[in-house]
Structure 1
Amino acid sequence: MQAGQRTDIRPDIRIDKLLWYLRLTKSRARARAILGQGHVRLNGRHVDRVSACVRAGDVITLPLGEAARVFRVLALPSRRGPPAEAASCYEEL
C-alpha cells in the first residue's frame, strides 16, 4: 500500500450490513429477516441471500411498512453513522 492511500474504501458491501448502516432497518437481524422473506430486489432481481454484494450505483427495492421503497446507493458507508451521514449515501427514487 502506498503512502496516503485510503484503506476504508471498499468496492462492495453485504446487503444486510448496508441496510443497517443506512439506517433503513434497526438491526442487522431485522435486515436479515426482511431479506429472508424474499421481497427485496437488487437491480430488479430478487435477493436470495443476505450476503449479496451491493456496489455504488445499485438500486434496491425494499418493502418497508405498507409500501415498497426504491433507493439508489450513491456511496458505500464505512460505518453506521448519524442519520444525516447515512442519508447522504443514498437517494430515494
Structure 2
Amino acid sequence: MCRNIKTLFNFEPPATDDEVRAAALQFVRKLSGFNAPSQANAAAFDRAVTEITDVARTLLLSLQTQAAPRDREVEAAKARERSRGRFG
C-alpha cells in the first residue's frame, strides 16, 4: 500500500493539498491494515487522515533546503526507468 506515498518536498510546483491527503490516506491505510474501514471505525479513520494531512502540510512548509526544486516530469521519468530496470 505505501508504494503510493511519494516524496512531496522540494518540488516545483509545490505539492497540492490532494497529494498531501493521498499520502496521509495511504499512511493510515498501512497503519490500520484497512483499505476501507468498517462503519464502526470510519470516524477514527477519517479523523486520523485529517490530522496526518495537517501535520504533513505543516512539516512540508517548515522544511528548508538549499537544493534547487526538483522537476516532477524529470523525477517521474527516473522512476519509470528504475521500474523498467527492476521489472523489465
| TM-score tier (shorter) | under 0.3
Structure with greater helix share of residues: 2
Q: Return the index of the structure with the highest Cα Rg.
A: 2
TM-score by length of 2: 0.27
TM-score by length of 1: 0.26
Higher RCO (C-alpha 8 Å, min separation 6)? 2
